[in-house]
Structure 1
Amino acid sequence: MQKKFFRVVFALVLAFWFGFAGFCQSAIALTDEQKLVSEVWRIVNRAYLDETFNHQNWAAVRQQILQKPISDQQAAYTAIQKMLKSLDDPFTRFLDPEQYRSLQVNTSGELTGVGLQIALNGESGKLEVVAPIAGSPADKAGIQPRDRIIQIEGTLTEKLTLDEAAAKMRGPIGSIVTLVVERDGETTPRQFQLKRDRIELNPVIAELRPATQGKSVGYLRLTQFNANAPLELARAIANLEKKGANAYILDLRNNPGGLLQAGIEIARLWLDSGTIVYTVNRQGIQGSFEALGSALTNDPLVILVNKGTASASEILAGALQDNGRANLVGETTFGKGLIQSLFELSDGSGLAVTIAKYETPHHRDINKLGIQPDRTIPSKQITRDQVATEADAQYQAALELLEKQAVVVGSV
């Protein structure tokens, strides 16, 4: 009996040893390309917002990908993209080294190209314009938020990933790229020929406008939330305060967002206290960002929003609306309530992963819903030079709202 027991134990030990040895051999045998795929898999496994991974066995996805030969770096990139595509999340995406460097440059405040912020519509799968960057070739040509880009240089965009589409629109300064665009309410697609250029990303435009009803209005236009935006806006507010501004219009129309932290820091410029935004991860854990008691001004504030107001712009607009700090005028915003984190990979490429969603201080989940303005004024087709003038109905509505606030204050 003891011999039989010994033989069973010995057999189990051998089985364990050979199994362990096989596992080690498998781990050691991983190529650099397979290791990169595994690196991406681990990051998503640890950080991704949806713990069901789009209702699939995430470990099985990795196993299936690694079973096939991955011969070189490009094959690894293709395998990673296939793996991420199974999540059905256009914001979780792989960036090759060139795309990763380009994204870092973009958020640092410099850019070359046609000046379009784009996204894949989660429902239709179509390539959609979030907003053109102010003063860019796309903006001057008249491309609008929610336009759908159906062709780039003759290639159907339904065959392209988000980053492949962006890469096809990049190119040397002075070169031409042709886009075919669909627009709501129009039966015939439009064709645009855009000359690539260096995009000026000074994110703040500031002017003191003539007094109305005792109000000297500081007009601030914020075009995106890059690394420069909080400091530039703080300087603009301080300068307008010195010039006598006692009411403000903050124009966030066609602002596609950018850095989450920039949105939070800008909200703090306007708030003495209160929650700015809640973040919710896949465990349901809520983090929050609060005002720090250092508002630069308590003067009346109206914010202009439209369909191109997205992401960090919506964080800012929602924070100031829910805290009673500002009224919103314009249209329902874009509705991007997901937060991505950027990871640098071992070979210099990058990975953007949806790690959380955000909620406004009143716990409004705005993803795919947007933020409703306090006063709805539809957008009308105006030229770039007519923005914030008498021809701009939304701007005029903001001025009227500030005038009414002045009358109410004066009657108390």
Structure 2
Amino acid sequence: MQVRFRSLVIAVVLALIVGSAGTYGILQWRGDLLSPGVPLTAADRAEFEKLFRSFQTLKAQYYQPVDDAKLVDGAIGGMVQALGDPFSSYMDRSTAQQFHESLGSSFEGIGAEVKSENGKIVVVAPIKGSPAEKAGLRANDQILSVNGKSLQGMNVNDAVLLIRGKKGTVADLEIQRPGVKDVLHIKVVRDTVPLTTVDSSMVEPGIGRIAITQFNENTGKEFDDALAKLQAQGMRGLILDLRGNPGGYLEACLEIANKLIPNHGIIVQVVDRAGRKDVHRSTLDRAPFPVVALIDGGSASAAEILAAALQEAAHDPLVGQKSFGKGTVQTELDFPDGSNIKYTMAKWLTPDGNWIHQKGIQPNYPVTLPYYWQLPPLSITRPITPDSTDTSVKIMQNFLEALGYSPGRTDGYFSPQTAETLRAFQQAKGLPPTGILDPDTAMALNDAVIAKEKQSDPVMQKGIEVLKSFMKA
């Protein structure tokens, strides 16, 4: 699909234009080529003369030979960085190549969207089913270091190069999690991350679930196939799970919205610096079934476009937590050497004209998650014995408590009562009842908590409850 945004153009990328440890969530339009640009003023020419003289001086007089390409890359990177916009960036040839490769059907890495925020590298969302998600990475986690190398003040592209890596290698991450005092240590084994973006199932008679992990070039077809399969099984209402979805192609978002937004309603409005609007409307006449969408802090950009359209244009309810809040538009400019810049050039508005940037979308039915959902998994390499104090002990105690055991305390001190409780858990799982936290016990605790989360997903449960009330109306 081609969408013309007046004379603006190139590949317009609407989403988190951020370095990604796995893939980049982008929402892209292709239109006419950008015009040659605004004519340079005398003041502009003077500034460029200063830039050119600086280049000439360093090239000729620096005490060591300089790399011309590095100087130019640094100048462009600094220019873009001076915008103070976390969604604008310069990518050299190798980084840009990784960016485009990450848009394929799979990639090697940990599988998480990240962004730069006030000089910090912050997780937007781990991709569902990715090594990052399995290791316990969460939205809004700040990555402090990778394999001992600090990311503080590092630009997002350089951080991405450190986080990504070959399948089978380990990314040892130091994490600062909002609301958690201690620094967390999470080891992620890099792997091939497939970009199958749609998962579906019947959760109850008449109620289907479709989870969209991001919007890529295949998502529209995957959604159509899933929808047809569920309807053949008697689906009369849909739970659309957009949790942890960091964004994607506009075309895919529009394709899906055209199946869900009735009455030719507005899907999204894009506004440029002159105030001109490009309004996208649905092609659907009538809603085929009631829909309830699930969102959280990892639902961003294209996911927010679809969620807002459902909430405001289709009047379908949202359940979960406030979304991420990404309401700006970026465009991509490619250079002949393979490098490119991405910079913000517009903003997008919801059907009712709301700008959700840095505010997010509030669900109609907020759901508070249990405390243990925010804890990282247990990751230990050596046994931890009683009468010791350790962050892993604190996580273990919280896990035991969540599973219905009584460790006596949750402050990280491995007390005799905690050891006795751990023995009871080990015995129930067929493990040697040593009362020592070893790697096998840690894995069993992780598995038990994950199973509990899947069985008692409060957001999904609330979504089903709300959808049933709409189906009866």
For the aligned pair, the TM-score class normalised by the smaller chain equals: 0.7 to 0.9
Instruction: Please report how far the alpha carbon of residue 328 of structure 1 lies from its aligned counterpart in structure 2 after TM superposition.
Output: 0.1
Instruction: Please report how far the alpha carbon of residue 108 of structure 1 lies from its aligned counterpart in structure 2 after TM superposition.
Output: 3.4
Aligned match for 2:222, one of 184, 209, 232: 232
Deviations 1:358-407 (A, max 9, x none): 000001100000001001102334455556x5410010000110122233
Are the aligned partners of 2:120 and 2:154 in contact in 1 as well (CA < 8 Å)? no
In 2, the alpha carbon distance for the partners of 1:275 and 1:59 equals 44
Superposition pairs of residues 6-405 of structure 1, within 5 angstroms: 46=37, 62-69=48-55, 71-121=67-117, 124-211=118-205, 216-272=206-262, 273-293=264-284, 298-380=288-370, 381-382=372-373, 385=451, 389-405=454-470
Are the aligned partners of 1:248 and 1:299 in contact in 2 as well (CA < 8 Å)? yes
In structure 2, the residue matched to 1:31 is none
In 1, the alpha carbon distance for the partners of 2:251 and 2:49 equals 37
Instruction: Please report how far the alpha carbon of residue 325 of structure 1 lies from its aligned counterpart in structure 2 after TM superposition.
Output: 4.1
Looking at secondary structure, tell me which structure has more helix per residue.
1
SS in 1 for 2:356: coil
Instruction: Please report how far the alpha carbon of residue 159 of structure 1 lies from its aligned counterpart in structure 2 after TM superposition.
Output: 2.9
TM-score (normalizing by structure 1): 0.80
Alignment RMSD (CA, Å) = 2.1
Instruction: Please report how far the alpha carbon of residue 125 of structure 1 lies from its aligned counterpart in structure 2 after TM superposition.
Output: 3.3
In structure 2, the residue matched to 1:37 is none
Identity within the alignment, %: 32
Change (3 A) 1:93 1:58: farther
Change (3 A) 1:251 1:384: farther
Change (3 A) 1:294 1:345: farther
Q: Which amino acid aligns with 2:52?
A: L
In 2, the alpha carbon distance for the partners of 1:361 and 1:184 equals 32
Instruction: Please report how far the alpha carbon of residue 343 of structure 1 lies from its aligned counterpart in structure 2 after TM superposition.
Output: 2.2
SS in 2 for 1:78: helix
SS in 2 for 1:339: strand
In 2, the alpha carbon distance for the partners of 1:183 and 1:217 equals 35
SS in 2 for 1:158: coil
Change (3 A) 1:59 1:240: farther
- The number of aligned residues is 349
Are the aligned partners of 1:135 and 1:200 in contact in 2 as well (CA < 8 Å)? no
Change (3 A) 1:244 1:101: same
Unaligned runs of 5+ in 1: 1-42, 48-56
Deviations 1:133-175 (A, max 9, x none): 1111110011110111111222221231111111111111111
Q: Which amino acid aligns with 2:249?
A: L
Q: Which amino acid aligns with 2:130?
A: S
TM-score (normalizing by structure 2): 0.70
